[in-house]
Amino acid sequence: MNKWLEKPWVIRIVALILSVLLFVVVAFDQNVYDKDDGLDLSLGTTNETQTMEDVPVQTLIDHDQYVVSGVPDTVTVSLQGSVSLVTSTVFQRNFDVYVDLEGLDTGTHIVPLQYSGVADQLNVYVDPQEVEVTIEERATKEFNVTIDTVNRESVEPGFEVSNIYAEPESLVVTSSKSIIDKVAIVKGFVDVNGFDESQTVRNVPVKVYDNQGNELSVRIEPPTVDVTVDMKNPSKTVPVTIETENEVSDDVRLTSMDLETEEVEVFAADSYLENLEELKTEPIDLSEITESGTIDVPLATSSEVRKVEPETVKVAVELETVEEQTIEDVPIDFQHEADDVSLTFVEPEDTNTMNIVMKGFPADLTEVASDELHLTIDLDGLNSGEHQLAVELDTPEDIPEGVEFELEYEEVTVELEEE
């Protein structure tokens, strides 16, 4: 059966049969009313009431000259009468409900809901029966179009919206004069999420608002505009400066920190770039640096910076550690040596020199000249015999701070003999 009903010619035949039956019933019912002799005919005179929702309402007025408010879009209509006539009317819906405003002046009026096209044999009830309407003269005014962008902060990094304009630039708004007087702005919205180049968005809807932000129901011509969004990518090349924090450990010394990339390109708004003179690195923690080498350091940026190229810079770090350097065979001089006394070294044996070990950072050690170091022992007031004497080291006053000296012998043993 379902396959038969799917065939177009079967549907047409069934529709034709139903139409003929409906015509026969209506004609028979009409004939009964015309020849009613007081007999109760069960088919034609049985009453029934059916209610139809959402029946559209027409407004009879010169729409080119007037604007009407207060007329409902739809109403509820109830039909009472014979079963056949009510059924056919509900099925066909070939009647009209309207408000007739022809000949009324501008202002507020209470008018009845009327109908036409319903058989006289039916009782008709329209809900509501009357409405309060306001008739105003139609007004037309031209307004400039404003375009707002949505997700402006979500354009591609480094880009910003530089200009935006609509085509056409102005629109014609039509409504009642009171509504036109309320118009504050005519606006469209464009979503620029992910934009990275200038482009045109076609057929952007436009809406009308009052000064409270409420949308107004008006006619707009044209209802859409084409919006062109110009994008730009402002940038500035600035030098980079190194920021540090904390100190290196005591056994190392930082000799240099040099940027391999001395300048970067910063992408931001023109107003921000105008006052930007340099870009600093994130602070480098010197306490974590234990050896020379190259490190990648991110740049410190504010929220106003959209992009930096490159995002990190390389910093070459040079450290030096404490080293030892030996100066060999430094002569030992004597202070207050008597002319008639001879001196012999007992310990160390048969030598009048010793080695000196210098400890310090290489850059400091290079500033120490071996001929500026002097070793002495003091013989003042000593008699003949063996004596254990301290060796003193004399150094220049400009020796770099931190250089330490270690003598091969802190003391020597000498023997003095009178000649």
Domains and CATH numbers, the chain: 2-128 (2.170.120.30), 140-232 (2.170.120.40), 235-321 (2.170.120.40), 323-418 (2.170.120.30)
Residue 192 pLDDT greater than 80, yes or no: yes
Between CA 67 and CA 101 the distance in angstroms is 11
Looking at per-residue pLDDT, the higher value among 41 and 195 belongs to 195
Closest CA to 69 of 141, 130, 132: 132
Give 32's pLDDT tier (boundaries 50, 70, 90): very low
Beta-ladder partners of 313: 297
Between CA 338 and CA 381 the distance in angstroms is 9
Give 43's pLDDT tier (boundaries 50, 70, 90): very low
Q: What's the N-to-C CA distance of the chain in angstroms?
A: 152
Alpha carbon of 406 to those of 282, 322, 361, 372, 401: distances in Å?
42, 14, 15, 15, 15
pLDDT for the residue 340: 75
Q: Give the range among 3-17, 32-46, 198-212, 403-417 with minimum mean pLDDT.
A: 32-46
pLDDT for the residue 13: 75
Q: What is the mean pLDDT of residues 106-122?
A: 90
Contact 119, 82 (CB under 8 A): no
Alpha carbon of 409 to those of 243, 329, 387: distances in Å?
47, 12, 15
Strand order in the sheet with 123-127: 114-116, 96-100, 47-60, 74-82, 123-127
Between CA 395 and CA 411 the distance in angstroms is 18
pLDDT for the residue 2: 52
Q: What is the mean pLDDT of residues 282-290?
A: 90
Q: Give the range among 38-47, 73-82, 105-114, 139-148 with minimum mean pLDDT.
A: 38-47
Predicted confidence (pLDDT) per residue in 204-263, tens digit: 999 999 999 999 988 899 999 999 999 988 889 999 999 999 988 877 888 889 999 999
Between CA 92 and CA 166 the distance in angstroms is 48
Residues above pLDDT 90, as percent of the chain: 37
Residue 23 pLDDT greater than 70, yes or no: no
Q: What is the mean pLDDT of residues 67-85?
A: 90
Q: Give the range among 27-41, 122-136, 319-333 with minimum mean pLDDT.
A: 27-41
Q: What is the mean pLDDT of residues 21-26?
A: 61
Residue 22 pLDDT greater than 80, yes or no: no
Q: What is the pTM of this model?
A: 0.46
Q: Give the range among 33-42, 278-287, 328-337 with minimum mean pLDDT.
A: 33-42
Q: What is the mean pLDDT of residues 52-66?
A: 89
Between CA 142 and CA 120 the distance in angstroms is 50
What lies within 8 Å, CB to CB, of 87 at 6+ separation is 48, 50
Mean pLDDT of all residues belonging to the chain: 85
Angle at 213 between CA 208 and CA 216, to 5 degrees: 35
Contact 391, 334 (CB under 8 A): no
